Amino acid sequence: MRVILPLVLFAALPAFAQAPDSAGVYQHEDAPTIHAAPISEHIRVDGKLDDPAWSKATPVDRFTQRDPDEGRPVSERTEVRVLIGEDALYVGARLYDREPTKVRRRLVRRDEDLASDYLAVLIDSYHDHLTAYRFRVNPAGSYDDSYIDSRGNADFSWDPVWNVRTTVDSLGWTAEMEIPLSQLRYNPSPEGVWGIQVRRWIDRKQELAEFSFTPKKQQSDVSRFGHLTGLGELSAPRHVEILPYSLAKADYHAVARGDPFQDGSKKVGSVGADLKYGLTSNLTLDATVNPDFGQVEVDPAVVNLTAVETFFPERRPFFIEGADLFRFGQSRSQNSFNSTIPFHARRIGRAPQLTLSGGGYNYVDGPSVTTIDAALKLTGKTRSGWSVGVLD
């Protein structure tokens, strides 16, 4: 992957000096195929798969176990269909189970451990055999979503707007997904081919089955996905997302005697907004004005007794789009000691780290936050395969 970045370009070099993960060359033309049937009508997503449009799609049912009986067919019949509409991709799955009362389901919050049966759909919309979007759901309707970067890391801070419903019945369970094209990034092409992988996990059997099977001795990454055909020349949806905010806060506290900077109260008021605009289907512009980064989800409490600082994941909306492009310099390793991180987004906008102390400074009127007036970011991938990330 070629990368253009205005930040410390030489630091990206270690990422390219990596050895292959497995021997041999995988022939992509031998990968299995799912054909997406085109539709013009809108699908009602209710998890029942009773919409007449589903009859237009040919199901795929050849799933192979990776665990526990490697290479054998899935123990429970599995059928998956795909439809492509004008503005969304639809995935419907019938997951049969001879013992439906033993189907494990668990209701959890978004992006938490499903710890139950689940269906996973992974989409390589750039068809670069490097990156993918993953959508998972369990029989209870709990789901998670993540972006798989070129290093195989899952970024759960990516939270697209999509719809999924499930139903448990006497035959097993079903799942119905609606994934808007505006939430995916892709290069429009007349071939209309993406990469796709579908996985089924049966928890009570500890069984993992794949549509595009990869032996255990080889890495089951995006390069081993099957093909999703029949998409045609997709249009480039111009998606626009605006997230405004307003804040009013008052803080009353005790004041030390003689402190000239405090009167016992502190009042704050501010307004701002985040903007996400899809210039094309593969280039996205993010902008923020007077961002209030202090109002995002709180980091988990961590006790760190080592000499290495804790790196928390990025949760601020402005920095999430294309975040993998700014993680340059990381080498592929099994531990963090071989990773070099010359740029860490969490450094931007954090609270000031220096304080004044010593004689003559009885009272200090120091800033508690770092003010950012505005910021712009352009991320995406060109048709020729160049990844672009610009942050200002």
pLDDT of residue 338: 45
Question: Looking at the domain assignment, is residue 43 inside a domain?
Answer: yes
Residue with tokens 């500890």: 206
Which CA distances in Å does 173 have to 30, 45, 63, 170, 386? 31, 15, 17, 8, 41
pLDDT of residue 299: 64
pLDDT of residue 120: 97
Q: Give me the mean pLDDT over the 375-385 stretch.
A: 81
Q: Confidence band (pLDDT; 50, 70, 90) for 241?
A: confident
Question: Looking at the domain assignment, is residue 10 inside a domain?
Answer: no
> Which range marks the domain in which residue 346 is found?
240-391
Same domain flag for 139 and 271: no
Q: Give me the mean pLDDT over the 97-113 stretch.
A: 94
Question: Looking at the domain assignment, is residue 14 inside a domain?
Answer: no
pLDDT of residue 173: 98
Which CA distances in Å does 53 have to 49, 56, 87, 362, 372? 9, 6, 15, 74, 49
pLDDT of residue 6: 45
Amino acid at 392: D
- Name the residue with higher pLDDT: 80 or 275: 80
- Is the pLDDT at 270 greater than 90, yes or no? no
pLDDT of residue 62: 95
pLDDT of residue 5: 38
- Name the residue with higher pLDDT: 379 or 327: 379
pLDDT of residue 374: 86
Same domain flag for 153 and 111: yes
SS3 state of residue 22 = coil
Same domain flag for 360 and 264: yes
Q: Summarize pLDDT for 317-374 with one digit per residue, the tens.
A: 777 777 777 766 554 433 444 455 666 666 777 777 666 665 566 777 667 677 788 8
Query: Does residue 89 contact residue 232 with C-beta atoms inside 8 Å?
Result: no
Q: Give me the mean pLDDT over the 56-78 stretch.
A: 96
Same domain flag for 172 and 286: no
- Mean pLDDT over the full length of the chain: 81
- Name the residue with higher pLDDT: 271 or 200: 200
Same domain flag for 112 and 221: yes
pLDDT of residue 19: 38
Q: How many domains does the chain have?
A: 2
- Name the residue with higher pLDDT: 82 or 324: 82
- Name the residue with higher pLDDT: 223 or 361: 223
pTM of the complete model: 0.75
pLDDT of residue 10: 33
pLDDT of residue 268: 75
Query: Does residue 61 contact residue 77 with C-beta atoms inside 8 Å?
Result: yes
pLDDT of residue 133: 95
Same domain flag for 61 and 177: yes
Same domain flag for 134 and 259: no
Q: Which of 191, 209, 229 is the last residue of a domain?
A: 229
Q: Confidence band (pLDDT; 50, 70, 90) for 22?
A: very low
Question: Looking at the domain assignment, is residue 194 inside a domain?
Answer: yes
- Is the pLDDT at 229 greater than 70, yes or no? yes
Q: Summarize pLDDT for 138-190 with one digit per residue, the tens.
A: 999 999 999 998 878 888 888 899 999 999 999 999 999 999 998 998 887 77
pLDDT of residue 194: 95
Same domain flag for 224 and 246: no
pLDDT of residue 334: 39
d(C-alpha 39, C-alpha 233), whole Å: 14
Same domain flag for 376 and 282: yes
Closest by CA to 80, choosing from 102, 62, 99, is 62
